[in-house]
Amino acid sequence: MSVCLEYQSVYLDRFASKSKTRTHLIAVLLLAVSLSYKVWLKLETVELGYRIAELREETQMLNYERQELELQLSVATRTDLLSKRAYEELNLRAPNPDQIVRVVLEK
pLDDT tens-digit profile of 70-86? 999 999 889 888 888 88
pLDDT tens-digit profile of 23-58? 899 999 999 999 999 999 999 999 999 999 999 999
Contact 93, 87 (CB under 8 A): yes
Is the pLDDT at 10 greater than 60? The verdict is no
- Separation of alpha carbons 59 and 51, rounded Å: 12
Residues recorded for the chain: 107
CB-based burial label for 80 (10 Å; 0-12, 13-18, 19+): exposed
